[in-house]
Structure 1
Amino acid sequence: MGRVNDRAAESIDRNSETGDCPCMDVLSDILSSMRISGGVVIDAQLGGPSCLVSQFTKEHYARFFAEPAHVIAYHYVRSGRIWVDVPGETPALAEAGCIILLPRNDKHLLYSEPGLPQIASETLIEEGPIGEPARIRIEGKGERTELYCGFLGSTSPENALIQSLPSLMLIEARDDTPDNWLESSLRFAAESASPEVIARLTELLFAEAIRRYVNSLPEGHGGWLNGLREPAISKALSIIHKRYAEELDVSALAREVGMSRSAFATRFSELIGESPMRYCTRWRMRMAGNLLRDGRQSSGNVAYEVGFGSEAAFTRAFKREYGEPPAAWRRRIAQANEAVGSARSEPNNSTLISAKARERAEFCTSADGTQIAWSAMGEGFPMLQPAVWFHQIDEDWNTVAWGHWTNEAIKRRLLIRSDMRGVGRSDRTPPRWTFEALLEDFTAVVEASGVDCFDLLGISHGALVAIAYAARHPERIRKLVLFGGYAAGFEVRGDPEEIKRRKSLIEMGRVYREGDREVFGRMLGMLYWPGARGPMIDWFNQRLGTIMGLNESLQQVFQVLDLRGEPDGVTAQTYLAHSRGDRIIPSTCTEEIAKHMPLAQLLLLESENHVLLSDEPAWGTFTKWFDEILAT
């Protein structure tokens, strides 16, 4: 049985995000490839003496998954305490705030005291109210215990990892631990009353449990997991995971980790249980399987993505690994998913949900006394994002327009956002509506956050503040990324047709301010996001009320502002991206900025959206580029 002290593990895990523990990056790669997702969650309230026999079976998860490669059971003790007994392990007492994990879904007992009659837990499960978890209720005299019970399913096998874990793992998440993300995450889930949120968070519980268990292992113990802790082997695994499409060989890997070929091959095989090249092949095929499972690319494109020169060679390799050709395998997986209704089009945002649960939300005071709301999400090197009118930190962390952007920005990063003055939780009636005031607001957020050096992400008109701050504080900016931005307002740009179109929109906004705003919103939304329908347009109509409620002098600021001389003062590495078909800010605006920054990288994307949406091909192109340019 593995029991991890929460206080020590929290400290080690935080350091791993900054690169002090490379094995955590390798472990994150493995966990991500397993495609773990949460199943049903049960709210169990047990009063008085009780002893439950618990194990999830195919009948339990058939409604939620096709046949998973692994099933992992878990229980979170919300209040009270309970004993857990797994064959071959010493019974353990789990108290409030403790997470019980059974990595191989072994049958186990949950009891208040030993020697009680056993009851099969599935006979007690009742449907909960609509939108809430299922329930187990035992009424009796004595101490009361409350649990969240559920399971996780993995689509990709990782037998070496699962078999290296103990049958029973207890993770202590004590209330007296400062900034405990596990406790705050589950509290967030409970308060949200959302089964989707609760299910997503279960993945985080398993990943955190493994990280803490690895950190708790004595030197030289843990079998396969010990290989993750040996620097040379961990580095080799990281190379394989990140460069699986390259033609790697044992000699090249040995050179990169600073070992002789024979010593590296022997040590790798001893710790990992297979040769380096066998691991390379297996990992490449796993990546291929995940790409095929996603269903967005043909087999030929997947073959290219994972490094094969021909589809025929890929088909032969895939069949050796999976026992059938890729097309047949994907068809079978898709049919199984469809049969249980588990196919999902939305991205896995469990990391985002966890980051939101641990979000630091505060206020700072700008130079003119205006209160500015800001927040910090995630962990890692800081990235600051200046405010824009159509983004609110409380509401837009996971909306259809911004969820994928936030999820991408917090990957191994600390994302710091703020509400613009007049928007969200910032002061609604500030004394000034000037560009210098906006810049002062951002400066106040920087100082309040306490970061010294950071990356800067400017989106849409947020690029104006990003450019000005980077030019005036070059010592604080590591990398500057601008998307859909500009350095001069439309009146300064001077295009007669654009000026006419913009003036018309402003006038229409005045007309519809008190009238049928939805009609105007749908029209304006089609300019920002051509082809958008349903939830996207509904979201934009909500945000439209924000811009209509702002002082018109702020719109005037954006119309006549001229920062075309500012890019000359930027010394940070700069990366520029824009949608070619953007109807709000022409891509020529970003191309003009690039002329003043000859060393900047420019990426023009095949899209018409002012801010990219998650379901368009350009988003995949952008995120790959984004990850590459920000890699340290």
Structure 2
Amino acid sequence: MSHDTLSDVLRTVRLRGALFYRVNGSRNWAAEAPPAREIADAVMPESEHVMEYHVVTRGSCWGAIVGEAPVRLECGDIILFPHGDAHVISSAPGMRAQANVAGLSERVDQLPFTLNLDAVEGNGDMPCDERYETGLVCGFLGCDLRPFNPLIDTLPRLLHLTSTGGQDWITHFMHQAVAESRSKRPGGEAMLERMSEMMFVDAVRRYIDMLPEESRGWTAGLRDRFVGRVLALVHDDPAKEWTVEQLGDRVGLSRSALHERFLEMIGLPPMQYLLNWRMQVAATLLRNTNATVGSVALEVGYASEAAFVRAFKRVVGKPPAAWRREKARGAHATHGR
């Protein structure tokens, strides 16, 4: 089936990238990030959920969620924190540093900027120097969690992807990020934002490929012979009046077998998943267009505006018109800063 379910989800939940800084470290150094929710308003104010990532461009280091076992990172490795956990990147395992929340919210003339660390203290924003043993490109990714984001919950708290030996485009991303942070050419910030989004998509694809056969969850469901096809059908045409019987007929399973398999894999019955996804699509239309509530209802499969309003309120917690006004006020406040 040609429908790309992962791309559909990432578009609809508004995946956005923001590359903010490079880190150079020598001797004993550490950089600690607070929980992403504490800095979300400063770094990505329009996103409901913020994730931080780091790509090792030179040398090696260690990365860990605060209080948990660290992992060794080599040149070309990527480490992501999909749930926004507080974390530490350091020259040796077990090190800590003061999280610099204020520094992330400082305005710079053009991103990315450079943070040079020596013995866990910042030495200012100075040009890259090869005497630093370790280099990283660091940034943020934002997305919506509500009404329904099936991807984030199925990702691990720490996602570590090892280098593929310089044979993929991540190597180009690393070199380009370093070059842009030095030259600060016009358009560099926007280009790196898009590249960071591509990096995340590639990381998720690699994670899916590495999942054991017995894995469960939305990401594992994408590659399941039957569940993956059902997801593709639902995402290709969420407004269609699907039934479990129709979906089962399309993928070659009985109603009961499909219900059981989908529930075991995804954690939701097929019709509940369809309802949740319709509300996510509706939320995107309410946020991004001037379409009336009635028009949005038709777009997601409701001939009755009243039935749509009830369903939206049940999933989201408030009627669609009130939700739209709330999001519009939030966006206006953000742009007014």
| TM bucket, shorter chain | 0.7 to 0.9
Give, in angstroms, the shift of residue 32 of structure 1.
2.3
- Equivalent in the alignment of 1:248: 242
Tell me if 1:33 matches 2:12.
yes
The SS at the match of 2:151 is helix
Tell me if 1:154 matches 2:143.
yes
Match of 2:173 among 161, 166, 185: 185
Alpha-carbon displacement from aligned partner over 1:495-533 (angstroms, at most 9, x marks no partner): xxxxxxxxxxxxxxxxxxxxxxxxxxxxxxxxxxxxxxx
Tell me if 1:167 matches 2:121.
no
Give, in angstroms, the shift of residue 118 of structure 1.
2.8
**AA at the equivalent of 2:205:** R
Alpha-carbon displacement from aligned partner over 1:239-260 (angstroms, at most 9, x marks no partner): 0001111111111001000011
List gaps (5 residues or longer) in structure 2.
120-129
| CA–CA distance in structure 2, aligned partners of residues 127 and 161 of structure 1 | 31
- Equivalent in the alignment of 1:320: 314
Contact 2:161 2:203 in 1 (8 A): yes
Question: Percent same amino acid among aligned pairs?
Answer: 36
| CA–CA distance in structure 1, aligned partners of residues 329 and 105 of structure 2 | 30
Q: Pairwise mapping of residues 527-538 of structure 1 onto structure 2 (< 5 A)?
A: none
Contact 2:57 2:174 in 1 (8 A): no
The SS at the match of 2:20 is strand
Residues 58/106 of structure 1: CA separation in 2 closer, same or farther (3 Å cut): closer
Give, in angstroms, the shift of residue 267 of structure 1.
1.0
Residues 87/129 of structure 1: CA separation in 2 closer, same or farther (3 Å cut): closer
Q: Pairwise mapping of residues 286-297 of structure 1 onto structure 2 (< 5 A)?
A: 286-297=280-291
The SS at the match of 1:100 is strand
Residues 317/117 of structure 1: CA separation in 2 closer, same or farther (3 Å cut): closer
| CA–CA distance in structure 1, aligned partners of residues 174 and 290 of structure 2 | 33
Contact 1:125 1:134 in 2 (8 A): no
The SS at the match of 1:338 is helix
What's the TM-score once normalised by structure 1's chain length?
0.47
- Equivalent in the alignment of 1:503: none
| CA–CA distance in structure 2, aligned partners of residues 162 and 128 of structure 1 | 29
Tell me if 1:299 matches 2:287.
no
Tell me if 1:340 matches 2:329.
no
- Equivalent in the alignment of 2:124: none
Alpha-carbon displacement from aligned partner over 1:519-551 (angstroms, at most 9, x marks no partner): xxxxxxxxxxxxxxxxxxxxxxxxxxxxxxxxx
Give, in angstroms, the shift of residue 264 of structure 1.
0.9
Contact 1:236 1:257 in 2 (8 A): yes
Contact 1:64 1:340 in 2 (8 A): no
| CA–CA distance in structure 2, aligned partners of residues 64 and 88 of structure 1 | 24
Alpha-carbon displacement from aligned partner over 1:330-358 (angstroms, at most 9, x marks no partner): 11111111211299xxxxxxxxxxxxxxx
Q: What CA RMSD, in Å, does the superposition of the two structures yield over aligned residues?
A: 2.8
| CA–CA distance in structure 2, aligned partners of residues 96 and 326 of structure 1 | 47
Q: Pairwise mapping of residues 419-568 of structure 1 onto structure 2 (< 5 A)?
A: none
Give, in angstroms, the shift of residue 147 of structure 1.
1.6
Residues 229/88 of structure 1: CA separation in 2 closer, same or farther (3 Å cut): farther
Give, in angstroms, the shift of residue 129 of structure 1.
5.2
Give, in angstroms, the shift of residue 174 of structure 1.
4.3
Match of 2:61 among 76, 82, 96: 82
Which has the greater radius of gyration? 1
Contact 1:101 1:168 in 2 (8 A): yes
**AA at the equivalent of 2:49:** H
Contact 1:39 1:152 in 2 (8 A): yes
Match of 2:211 among 202, 217, 240: 217
Contact 1:65 1:337 in 2 (8 A): no
The SS at the match of 2:115 is strand
- Equivalent in the alignment of 1:264: 258
List gaps (5 residues or longer) in structure 1.
1-18, 344-632
Residues 331/281 of structure 1: CA separation in 2 closer, same or farther (3 Å cut): same
Contact 1:125 1:136 in 2 (8 A): no
The SS at the match of 1:118 is coil
State the structure with bigger RCO (CA 8 A, min sep 6), 1 or 2: 2
